[in-house]
Amino acid sequence: MNALAARRRHPAAILFLLLLGLLITGSAYAAFAPKAATAAEATADQITLGKQLFASNCASCHGKNALGTEQGPNLAGVGAASVDFQVGTGRMPMAEPGVQAPRGKAVTFDDEKIAALAAYIASLAPGPAIPDAKYTSGEGGDPGKGGMIFRTNCSMCHNSAGAGGALTRGKYAPSLMGVDGKYIYEAMETGPQSMPVFNDNNISPESKNDVIAYLKAMNETGNPGGMALGSLGPVPEGLFAWVFGLGILVGAAYWLGQKGA
Amino acid sequence: MTTIDNARPADGLRAGDARVTAPPSAGAKKLGGVVGWVDDRLGPAKGVNYLMKKVFPDHWSFMLGEIAMYSMIVCLLTGVFLTFWFVPSAGHTTYDGSYVPLQGVQMSEAYASSLRISFDIKGGLLIRQMHHWAALMFIVALSAHMLRVFFTGAFRKPRELNWVIGCILSMLALIEGFAGYSLPDDLLSGTGLRAAEGFMQSAPVIGSYLAFMVFDGPFPGEAIIPRLFSVHVLLLPAILIGLFTAHIVMVAVQKHTQFPGPGRTNNNVVGFPVMPVYAAKAGGFFFIVFGFLAVVAALVQINAIWVYGPYDPSPVTAGSQPDWYMGFADGALRLLPGWLEFHAFGYTLSLNVAIGALGLIPVMYGAMAAYPFIESWVTGDKREHHLLDRPRNQATRTGLGVAALTFYGVLMFAAANDIMAIKLHMSINDITYFFRAATFVLPVVAFWVTRRICLSLQRADRNLVLHGRETGRIVRTAEGKFFEAHEPLDEYTRWTLVQHDPQEPLQLTTGVDAHGVASPAGGKRNLRARLSRFYFQDNLLPVTPAELAAAHHDGHSTEHLEAIEAAEESYGEETAGITGRP
Amino acid sequence: MSSHQSEHETTVVRLDDGHHIGDGGIPEQFVNPGLPPHVERLSDLSDMGAKRAERQVAGLFGLSILGTLLFLVAYFAVGTHDRSFVPGLGKIATSNLLLGIGLGLGLLGIGLGAVHWAKTLMPDAEVVEERHPMRSSDETRQGFVDVMRGGGESSQLFRRPLIKATLGGALGLFSLPLLVQLVGSLGPLPRKQLSQTMWNGTPAHDGTYEPYANGFPRLMRDPENLPIKASDVTIGSVYHVLPEGLLPDPETGEGGLEHGVLEEKGKAAVLLMRLDPSQFQDTDGGRKAQAWGHEGIVAYSKICTHVGCPVGLYEQTTHHLLCPCHQSTFDVTDDCKVIFGPAKRPLPQLKITVDGEGYLVAAQPFHEAVGPSFWERG
């Protein structure tokens, strides 16, 4: 038998096989995973596909022609941006009824299907379009200006660090950490659920890009002082002081008072 | 046991003096170096000897005050460092430091200098974080210390004054902390100052004048930052240092209390002397606290002011809370309902704000400071107490303390209602309604539960003394009956369980003398007696040698064990006021 | 209640008979057994134990030295701008971590070493110190009384009531100048400053406002400071607004207030929202809210009437405004009436209209004081 076969019972063989398996699977995924949708014109095919997808996944709550029912609002005029945001972040289709549609743990549809749904909804009535990539990457944006806009318009709901905050009756403003710039833009543009609308006349596309640049710069900064404790402010800090601070120092005091061995 | 003689305390200084039987050594005649130089001029050797021989008892709960003291010293040291770089001015500047997301932004000099300390001074962020963590630990430890003193009755005569000084220290520490974290003029602490201005405005009659006085005009003004700097760096540290020096000098003069135990009496202190043991332990503990604070400051971020941004009255952050120690006041403000504001004759009385913002702290601290005097009036106890109470033996006091703590805790947790809402996925409105009810319901429940638990523990102690420790060995008698062998407690362990004072409530008087004339003080005396009964009723008396002998004499046969248990129950019923025998 | 019967019997006591203080050779109460016997430590018993303790203490002190060295090296070698990713901590400043760990170990080593030394090698036999009563002896007390009374008599204080009276008066009054200066000069009188804002006029130095000559100011976006067209405010939008003239021109940087920017912002900040007109409630408040708005666009003061935090959270679907500080909730469809939380008064509304070019402009100033309540508010 050859050298490889002779070593098939080697302890490292399992490890090697696992790594090989991971490598193959990973490369295959990278090769075949759908590419990000470009802001291209909607084709008639897309709209047809979108209509089909809508009928089977969304119409039960949003009505046959997206005109709305008691469970879901009228979608005419919400624009492709809304669909891209809601479906792209996994909020829609809503997994279970509740006061708020939370960000999905997994996204139900791939990019092609999302684009189709967006094209269909956009075809019903004019509404906000999917933004141009040059305004959603944060490149060329001024984080200083973005920060001022963020603190005036956003931090009262989403918290200074973008860690999220409470609204009334169980609703909440979600965390912005790690969220793609495109979704930040679309959320501002369309005002999902409780969030108000910050249209392009209120916060211009350049300003929106500044905000995205600010969020990216905050992410870059990290947490220089150490563990951020969720970036929720004095409450976790006080909890830490009582539980770990007092706990460890009382432990030291107890050790100090015990008789030596 | 030594008798108490009428010698002056200072006579004790001579107690250790040895009779000079041999000529003093060359070393004793001429103390070396610096020490000798100082002694030649001031003669401190006697005083130092006295202090070095002082005995301190060893219990971990006595170190809580030390944690507070050492944290305060760390605050003082790191604070001095910070004053070298902090600029206490509200003057406007444009940021041009190294933190990119704030470049070009308008801000105050105070905020810009705080950013510089955090990002551009080597070790600056570490010192800032150590300072803030030490401030939190200071108040955490002093609160825990206060609870320990309360629950063990260490505030009783002769230590009432020290307790009052401690209450003042605690209140001043809150203000010092608030002033301190407001200095960097960031969005979060500035929002707190805005709320503080609102509190002042709500003061009846003088509100708007008070607010304009403190802020030198409309909010925010340019004066509040430099004024807070004076208060935080000059005024309050001076008062705090003065008061806490008085606090520890009194502990040294009165000697520290100790827990009851074998060999410990009300007239001695058992422990270790300062030289060398306590110098090493207490000195070492200072380094432990200091080092721990440095490690925490290295690993855990606190008060990330760069994230909040500079203060501006227009923006605000979700999750706006003060530092934890002001949480109870913030919680009170969230819970007080709006209908408590009244408008009449063109005037507005904002009780919804004033009760929580202006009334709560003085009332709470006043009640706390007055407690030793109230308790001594109620119990009629005028003796000196140097032995601590085991909390279970003072069921009512412990219950009252837990009820007060529960009330405080409900208010404090109410301040975090929005954090709870997002972390626990609940409605913030429901949480607020719950806390409103809990403010009144939970303390009562806590009092009752704590008191019952203390009484149960007292009963358990009695049983332990009478029946001894359960050994887990099952013994079978010749008749075929089984029982568990109990080992009687040794005299040392037993002593701790039986040493406490059986306290009697004051007797009720009829309030009327032999001729039917009502006594003027009768009503008050009766109130006192009723309160005294509230304090002491249901307290179990410690086991006496006679009862123990009775328990032993009857042997370990099962019939008698059952009889003993039945007798215990009826004894318990009697003390609860129900008569009747099984 | 327990009874205290003094039984002069030597019979054994029954436990169901109440609390007894027995007699006949059994003491009334237990006696303090004294200090328990001393237990030696390993380092007392064996030389090897002592040497091991010594090594441990020395090791801890050595750790302190290493920590200090780490601090010194890190101080010079690591810059403040270096960042590292540490699992469990995240992206942290390397300098902060190393300086802190170095300093911490430097201190902890000493502390732990000293305490371990005390526990293992220093004498641990308990020592007893006697207490004396705190009160001074009667002789000392008498001496105190004698000294003080002697002082009072020899100074003739008791004999001279005029001195006593005027001394009392002078001492009682001398601190007044200090108090009066402090209280009197700390800050200006509020006058009308709490009741007027920059929507009334241009701020003057003394806190008054000079009424606008050419109409009320436009509503400008905060922080960009650009005017707002009514048609830009779509349903569900929220705009943060400041009066024209507060902030400088965004292009040129000229104009704007020279001082008092934050003070004016703190009173003049306004929130602008657009609702569908059918959303307003059919109450007096709802009707007035619509009337003072413009085609469903309404403007309200952003300063909470509780204690003054900015009420920024607008829930588009419920039309509620939430203040993040203490959760006061205001219903925009009913003239910002308080529907939850500790505030009492609704947010004051700013009456708006559009000017010739379609930009939103104030129609009149606030009709009541904005912000937290105060006694003379009315």
Q: Do A227 and C224 touch (CB under 8 A)?
A: no
Domain boundaries along the sequence of chain C: 42-120, 201-377
Q: Looking at residues B160-186, what average pLDDT do you find?
A: 97
CA distance A130 to A122: 10
Q: Does B91 have pLDDT greater than 70? A: yes
Summarize the confidence of residues C124-139 as an average pLDDT: 89
- Which of the residues C192, C307, C330, C338 would you substitute to probe the B interface, choosing the one with the greatest number of B C-beta atoms within 10 Å? C307
What are the Cα distances from residue B486, in Å, to B466, B467, B552, B557, B566? 10, 7, 11, 12, 18
- CA-CA distance, B168 to A163, in Å (whole number)? 38
Q: Is the pLDDT of residue C202 over 60?
A: yes
Cβ-Cβ contacts under 8 Å for C166 (sequence gap 6 or more): none
Q: What is the distance in angstroms between the Cα of B17 and the nearest Cα belonging to chain C?
A: 15
CA B105 – CA B308 distance, rounded (Å): 13
Interface test with B, best of C68, C119, C131 (most B CBs within 10 A): C131
Ramachandran sector of residue B217 (left: φ over 0; alpha: ψ -120 to 50; beta: rest) = left
Which residues 194-223 of chain A have a CB within 8 Å of chain B? 214, 217-218, 220-221, 223
Contact A260 C119 (CB under 8 A): yes
**Per residue in C310-330, is it b (16+ CB within 10 Å) or e — as a string?**
bbbbbbbebbbbbbbbbbbbb
- Please list the residues that pair with C220 across neighbouring strands: C227, C242
> Environment class of residue B482 by beta-carbon count within 10 Å: exposed (0-12), middle (13-18) or buried (19+)?
exposed
* Band of pLDDT at residue B486, cut at 50, 70 and 90: confident
Average pLDDT over residues C134-141: 91
A167 and C41: CB-CB below 8 Å? no
Fold match between A44-124 and A133-221? yes
- Predicted confidence at residue B579, as pLDDT, reads 41
pTM, to two decimals: 0.88
- Model confidence at A211, in pLDDT bands (50, 70, 90)? very high
Q: Does residue C209 surpass a pLDDT of 90?
A: yes
Among chain B residues, the shortest Cα distance to A244 is held by: B296
> Alpha-carbon distance A211 to A218, whole Å?
11
Residue B371 CA to its chain's centroid (Å): 13
Among B530, B535, B475, CA closest to B508: B530
pLDDT at residue A35 is higher than 60: no
Mean pLDDT of B39-61: 88
What are all long-range contacts of B564-569, with beta carbons under 8 Å and residues at least 24 apart? B564/B466, B564/B467, B564/C15, B566/C16, B567/C14, B567/C15, B567/C16, B568/B459, B568/B463, B568/C15
Name the C residues in 258-277 with CB < 8 Å from any B CB.
Answer: 260, 262-263, 265-267, 269
What is the DSSP code (8-state) at residue C81? T
Q: What is the mean pLDDT of residues A94-114?
A: 85
Q: With left for phi above 0 and alpha for psi between -120 and 50, is residue B559 left, alpha or beta?
A: alpha
Cα separation of B270 and B262, whole Å?
A: 10
With an 8 Å Cβ cutoff, the interface of chain A facing chain C consists of: 148-149, 152-153, 156-157, 165, 167-168, 171, 173, 191, 193-199, 201-202, 207, 221-228, 255-256, 258-261
Compute the average pLDDT of residues C117-143. 90
Residue C269 neighbours by CB distance under 10 Å: 28
Which of these, B317, C224, C238, C302, lies nearest to A198 by C-alpha position?
C238
- pLDDT category of residue B129 using cuts at 50, 70 and 90: very high
Task: Give the model's confidence band at C342: pLDDT under 50 very low, under 70 low, under 90 confident, else very high.
Answer: very high
C192 in contact with B, Cβ within 8 Å: no
What would the mean pLDDT of B369-388 be, rounded to a whole number?
Answer: 92
pLDDT at position A33, please? 44
| Cβ separation B102–A144 shorter than 8 A | yes
Each residue of B302-353: pLDDT tens digit?
Answer: 999 999 999 999 999 999 999 999 999 999 999 999 999 999 999 999 999 9
Straight-line distance from the first to the last Cα atom of chain C, in angstroms, rounded to the nearest whole number: 61
Q: Encoding tokens for residue B202? A: 């709500």
**Could you give the number of structural domains in chain B?**
2
Measured between beta carbons, the chain B residues lying within 8 angstroms of C209 are: none
Cβ-based burial of C356 (10 A; exposed 0-12, middle 13-18, buried ≥19): exposed
End-to-end CA distance of chain A: give it in Å, rounded.
63
**Prior bond of B220 cis (ω within 30°):** yes
Most confident of B130-134, B250-254, B522-526: B130-134
Return the beta strands (E) in C45-189 as ranges: 83-86, 90-93, 127-130
Chain A residue numbers with beta carbons less than 8 Å from the beta carbon of C120 are 260-261
Q: What is the DSSP string of A24-87?
A: HHHHHHHHHSPPPPP-PPPPHHHHHHHHHHHHHHTHHHH-TTS---SSS---TTSHHHHHHHHH
Peptide bond into C223 cis (omega under 30): yes
- Burial class for B520, CB neighbours closer than 10 Å (0-12, 13-18, 19+): exposed
Radius of gyration (C-alpha) of chain B in whole angstroms = 30
Q: Which residues 91-110 of A have a C-beta within 8 angstroms of B?
A: 99
Question: What's C201-377's CATH class?
Answer: mainly beta
B177-230 pLDDT per residue, tens: 999 999 999 999 999 999 999 999 999 999 999 999 999 999 999 999 999 999
Mean pLDDT of the region C157-183: 92
Beta pairing, strands C329-331 & C337-340: antiparallel
The residue among A154, A160, A255 with the most chain B CBs within 10 A of its CB, best to mutate, is A160
Question: B580 falls in which pLDDT band (50, 70, 90)?
Answer: very low
CB contact under 8 A, C317 and A194: yes
Q: Do B416 and A235 touch (CB under 8 A)?
A: yes
CB-CB neighbors (< 8 A) of A164 in chain B? 318, 422
| Cβ–Cβ < 8 Å for B354, B204 | yes
Instruction: Return d(Cα C94, Cα C86) in angstroms, integer.
Output: 9
**Residue A110 confidence (pLDDT) above 70:** yes
Domain that includes residue B493, residue range: 454-511+523-575
Question: Contact C293/C268 with Cβ under 8 angstroms?
Answer: no
The reply to whether residue A228 touches residue B289, judged by beta carbons under 8 angstroms, is: no
Contact between A226 and C97 using a beta-carbon 8 Å cutoff: yes
What are C13-37's pLDDT values in tens digits? Answer: 566 666 666 556 777 788 898 898 8
Q: B338, C110: Cβ pair inside 8 Å?
A: no
pLDDT band at B18; cut points 50, 70, 90: low
Q: Give the long-range contacts of residues C281-285, CB within 8 A, separation 24 or more.
A: C281/C331, C281/C333, C281/C334, C283/C334, C283/C335, C284/C335, C285/C334, C285/C335, C285/C337, C285/C346
Coil, strand, or helix at residue B484?
A: strand
Looking at beta carbons, which residues of chain B come within 8 Å of C376? Answer: 208, 346-348
Distance from CA of B562 to the nearest CA of A (A): 40
Q: Does C169 touch chain B (CB under 8 A)?
A: no
CA pair distance B99, B109, nearest whole angstrom: 15
Mean pLDDT is lowest, of B169-178, B219-228, B509-518, C193-202, for B509-518
Under 8 Å CB-to-CB from A206, ≥6 apart: which residues?
Answer: A135, A141
Tell me which chain C residues have a C-beta less than 8 angstroms from the C-beta of A199: 232, 234, 237
How far is the C-alpha of A249 from the C-alpha of B426, rounded, in Å?
Answer: 34
Question: Would you call B213 an interface residue with chain C, using a CB distance cutoff of 8 Å?
Answer: yes
Calculate mean pLDDT across residues B28-51: 82
Q: From CA C283, how far away is CA C335, in angstroms rounded?
A: 9
Burial B559-572 (b: 16+ CB within 10 A, else e): eebebbeebbebbe
Peptide bond into B545 cis (omega under 30): no
Give the nearest partner residue to C187 out of B217, B255, B320, using CB atoms: B217
Contact A226 C316 (CB under 8 A): no
Q: Which residue of C has its CA nearest to A200?
A: C232
User: Which of A19-23, A234-238, B527-531: highest mean pLDDT?
Assistant: A234-238
Does the pLDDT of residue C283 top 50, yes or no?
Answer: yes
Mean pLDDT of all residues in B128-146:
98
**Cross-chain residue pair A165–B307, CB shorter than 8 Å:** no
Average pLDDT, chain C: 90
CA atoms within 13 A on the CB side of C189: 2
Flag the least confident range among A7-21, B416-430, C236-250. A7-21
In the predicted structure, residue B256 carries a pLDDT above the cut 90:
yes
Is there a contact between B367 and B376 (Cβ–Cβ < 8 Å)? no
CATH number at residue B294: 1.20.810.10
Please report whether residue B119 resides in a domain: yes
Site from B13, B100, B120, B126 to mutate, C interface, most C CB atoms within 10 angstroms: B126
Q: What residues in B contact A138, CB-CB < 8 Å?
A: none
Least confident of A149-163, B27-41, B132-146, C342-356: B27-41
Determine the residue among B201, B225, B300, B492 to mutate to test chain C binding: the one whose Cβ has the most chain C Cβ atoms within 10 Å: B201
pLDDT of residue C311: 95
Q: Smallest Cβ distance to B268: which of C128, C308, C327?
A: C128
Show the tokens assigned to B522. 């009768």
pLDDT digit string (tens) for B444-456?
999 999 999 999 9
pLDDT value for C39: 87
Structure tokens of B539?
């307290």
Average the pLDDT over B280-288 and give the result. 96
- pLDDT for position C5: 42
Residue B256 class from Cβ within 10 Å (0-12 exposed, 13-18 middle, 19+ buried)?
Answer: middle
**Superfamily of domain A44-124 in the CATH hierarchy:** Cytochrome c-like domain (1.10.760.10)
Specify the DSSP element, H or E, that contains B236: helix B236-254
DSSP element (H, E) containing B169: helix B160-182
> What φ, ψ does residue A129 adopt, rounded to 5°?
-90, 165
For residue A217, give the amino acid letter: A
Is-contact B468 B490, C-beta < 8 A?
A: no
Of residues B427, B400, B432, the one with CA closest to residue B414:
B432
- Give the separation between CA C150 and CA B360, rounded to whole angstroms: 47
8 Å CB contact of C322 and A168:
yes
Question: Which positions ≥6 away from B365 have C-beta within 8 Å?
Answer: B167, B168, B170, B171
Q: Give chains near C: 3+ CB pairs under 8 A.
A: A, B
Q: Give contacts of C 62-121 with B, CB under 8 A.
A: 75, 79-81, 89, 93, 95-101, 103-115, 117-119
Q: Could you give phi then psi for residue B68, rounded to 5 degrees? A: -65, -45
Is residue B61, in this structure, part of any structural domain at all? yes
Q: Does residue A238 belong to the interface with chain B, where contact is any CB pair within 8 Å?
A: yes
Interface contact flag, A197 C316, Cβ < 8 Å = yes
To the nearest whole angstrom, how far is the Cα of A11 from the nearest Cα of chain B? Answer: 39
By CA distance, what is C117's nearest residue in A? A260
Structure tokens at C80: 């403040």
* pLDDT for the residue A1: 59
Q: Which residue has the higher pLDDT, B502 or A172?
A: A172
Each domain of chain A, given as residue ranges in start order, spans 44-124, 133-221
Chain A: residue nearest C239 by CA? A202
Q: CATH number of A133-221: 1.20.1050.10, 1.10.760.10, 2.60.120.590, 3.30.230.10? A: 1.10.760.10
CB within 8 Å of C165: residues ≥ 6 apart: none
Q: What is the rounded distance in angstroms from the CA atom of residue B425 to the CA atom of residue B419?
A: 10
- Is the per-residue pLDDT at B578 higher than 50? no
End-to-end CA separation in angstroms for chain B: 43
Nearest to B505 by CA among B536, B528, B527: B536
pLDDT value, residue B557: 47
pLDDT value of residue C253: 85
ipTM: 0.90
- The pLDDT mean for chain A works out to 88
Average pLDDT of chain B to the nearest whole number: 89
Decide: B402 and B548 in contact? Cβ < 8 Å: no
Residues C222-280: tens digit of each pLDDT = 899 999 999 999 999 999 999 999 999 988 888 899 889 999 999 999 999 999 999 99
Please determine, for residue C352, whether its predicted confidence score (pLDDT) is greater than 50: yes
How large is the average pLDDT for residues B486-507?
Answer: 85
Q: Which residues of C touch A148 (CB under 8 A)?
A: 223
Contact C1 B158 (CB under 8 A): no
Comparing B213-222, B424-433, C127-136, the range with the smallest average pLDDT is C127-136
Burial B142-152 (b: 16+ CB within 10 A, else e): bbbbbbbbbbb
- Restricting to B residues 219-278, those with a Cβ less than 8 Å away from any Cβ of C are 219-221, 223, 254-255, 262-273, 276-277
Range of lowest pLDDT (B2-16, B62-76, B182-196, B345-359)? B2-16
Q: How far apart are CA A37 and CA A163, in angstroms?
A: 28
Percent of the residues in chain C that have a pLDDT greater than 90, as a whole number: 75
* 3-state SS, residue A132: coil
Q: Does residue B43 fall inside a structural domain?
A: no
Our CA-based measurement puts residue C196 at a distance from the nearest CA of chain A, in whole angstroms, of 23
Pairing relationship of beta strands C83-86 and C20-21 according to DSSP bridges: unpaired
Look at A121 and B579; give whichever has higher pLDDT: A121
Residue B476 CB contacts under 8 Å (≥ 6 apart), including other chains: B482
Domain boundary among B265, B286, B319: B319
Is the predicted pLDDT of residue B278 greater than 50, yes or no? yes
